Chains A and B, each alone.
Chain A
């Protein structure tokens, strides 16, 4: 395993009056696939630029492999960054691009071309070495950037939304490729994305970021099943939401007074009676209740439409201007007509009551 761990100690950065990243503590383990997930402009790229040495933190310290990086330039750090814009060298061939880092280390032409060929084969571009970047497709360029970064055998690979320009098929393919490469090499990956699906499928752990602040760090399961803020809950995954005030608490659960009556849910943060809160329940934990079925919480709604996603189907309901979704497997589907009166429901254990706060807008 050649990965190294990375530690941010109270790291913050300001540009003039604007604080792009507030003081942040973060530890990424050696050999981990770590994702930073957050909306555009929240400071993801800025964090990567500090780790790779292109910007200096205004305060705090960054450690890689236990060593402070203060005063160490990007050319001396054991990191390789895949830029959001890829930054392939336009005047060099694909092979020269991939071999560039080795050339800078003084490796002779023969061995470095062999190494470049090996990496081009790894990213399935073995026969494209003599082209120049502009002659490649978007996906191929992305793979060249990955090969070029891997060539210098970094201990930490920093990836800034490297798959964003690809179509869905290729993106899924590259996800598993990247995951494979990461497992094979044991390099620590810090992967930036604003695609929650991507973060969930690839990562060991995820940090959810909002406006210069890391809101939550956890395993993929933790972030999805136990989000710690309203923002994290809504940024990762879909929800049915009910806003209200807590009226009663008991043994890890609470009751919340909403527009549509009293609803019960878990109370992971032990909010006290009287707090403004939101109850979140995932669409796959929400049920459409027929006559016999029961649930602890029920809401009467009107059926609107459905979205068929192959194996799954999303049923959309409405009540006043609130929308609700039920996610079902495509087995034994009940069918409805637009305007049908239905009841949806969920058990208290399936729902989560979190403090009221800003939501991810979607």
Chain B
């Protein structure tokens, strides 16, 4: 590795590159490492400088914390709701824009992606006000609806990218062979979209799960895991929050590894297909 690099860069730039990498990784991972370490510290505010000894006790404290548990359940419920709303909405939008060559396409596209450019707070507040007029007060439902407004834009962009790559003549060929529009969708379009459906669902879930801005305004008296952590900040943190962080880091690494393995296998399959 260094052999290859030193031949294309000078020795000086090689050093600069290495220093840069060290700083970069420190910047990325040092806070994470400190957070993880503080989660195992006996001391009852998150810290690594005052080390009172190693402990698992914050895991126990977290396990006893009912509000955290109910927040987790709420977060998952909302995320599932967001997936249910934003997948068909995004798919429909993507179809409209890529398949119907209307002269209003530009306008339509603008409207569909505008929630991405709108501050999350506004989405939350406006959803809350709108539904309150209809007699629905803030809660999990309004939080899910508010989040879905902008997450649908994400899923739509992902479906659009995929649909644009599809050869429209495949759908025409299926029609020509006697397939109805429903059959074409089920046998030709869906199999083609399948990988994107999976990815879009995962992204929608993560976007929903980590959302704070929109949720805090739309959720009324209820709470999610993230809004709960946010509100506790005011009273000072407990290492139990670090434990949540530890769990997430662990889950992220696990899922990322699974995803990479899965994708590599898919890539091998695709390259086998391409010959």
B176 within 8 A of A: yes
User: CA separation between A191 and B90, bound complex, in Å?
Assistant: 41
A101-B178, A104-B178 are contacts. A87–B273 as well, Cβ < 8 Å? no
Q: Choose among B167, B169, B175, B192 the residue with the greatest number of A CB atoms under 10 Å from its CB.
A: B175
Residue A114 lies at the interface, judged by CB distance under 8 Å to chain B: no
Q: Which of A54, A74, A85, A88 has the most CB of B within 10 A?
A: A74
Give the Cβ gap from A102 to chain B, nearest Cβ, in Å. 9
**A80–B174 Cα gap in the complex (Å)?**
10
Residues of A contacting B174 in the complex (Cβ-Cβ under 8 angstroms): 89, 100, 104
Q: Which of B183, B191, B192 contacts A104 (CB 8 A)?
A: B183
A134 contacts B273, C-beta separation under 8 Å = yes
Contact A100:B177 (CB < 8 A) given known A132-B273, A134-B273: yes
On whether the beta carbons of B178 and A87 are closer than 8 Å, the reply is: no
Considering the complex, which residues of chain A in the window 84-121 have a beta carbon less than 8 Å from any beta carbon of chain B? 85, 87-91, 100-101, 104-105
A148 to B187, CA, bound (A): 16
- CB within 8 Å for A75 and B172 given contacts A87-B167, A104-B183: no
| Cβ of B33 under 8 Å from chain A | no
Per-residue 0/1 for B56-87: is the Cβ within 8 Å of any A Cβ (1 yes, 0 no)?
00000000000000000000000000000000
- What's the least CB distance linking B102 to chain A, in Å? 14
A74/B169 contact (C-beta < 8 A), A89-B188, A132-B273 known: no
A88: chain B residues within 8 A (beta carbon): 173
Number of residues from A at the complex interface, CB < 8 A: 27
Which residues 178-197 of B sit at the A interface, judged by CB distance below 8 A? Answer: 178-180, 183, 187-188, 191-192
- A307 CB to closest chain B CB (Å) equals 38
Residue of B nearest to A52 (CB): B176
Task: Verify A83–B169 contact, CB threshold 8 A.
Answer: yes
B202 at the interface (CB under 8 A from A): no
Partner of A152, one of B178, B274, B275: B178
**Taking chain B's interface residues, is the majority helix, strand, or loop, or is none over half, making it mixed?**
helix
**A357 close to chain B: CB less than 8 A:** no
With beta carbons under 8 angstroms apart, the residue of B170, B177, B275 that contacts A134 is B275
Distance, CA A134 to CA B178, complexed state (A): 24
A85: nearest residue on chain B (CB-CB)? B169
The digit string for B191-219, where 1 denotes a CB below 8 A from any CB of A, is 11000000000000000000000000000
| Contacts A81-B173, A87-B173, A151-B177 known; 4 new A-B pairs at CB < 8 A | A74-B172, A74-B176, A83-B169, A148-B177
What residues of chain B have their CB less than 8 Å away from a CB belonging to chain A? Answer: 167, 169-170, 172-180, 183, 187-188, 191-192, 273-275
Q: List 19 contacting pairs A-B, 8 Å CB cutoff, sorted by A.
A: A54-B175, A74-B175, A75-B175, A75-B176, A81-B176, A87-B167, A88-B173, A89-B170, A100-B187, A101-B177, A101-B178, A101-B179, A104-B174, A104-B177, A105-B178, A132-B273, A135-B273, A148-B177, A151-B177
10 A-B pairs closest in CB distance = A101-B177, A87-B173, A87-B169, A104-B179, A104-B178, A74-B175, A74-B176, A75-B175, A81-B176, A134-B273
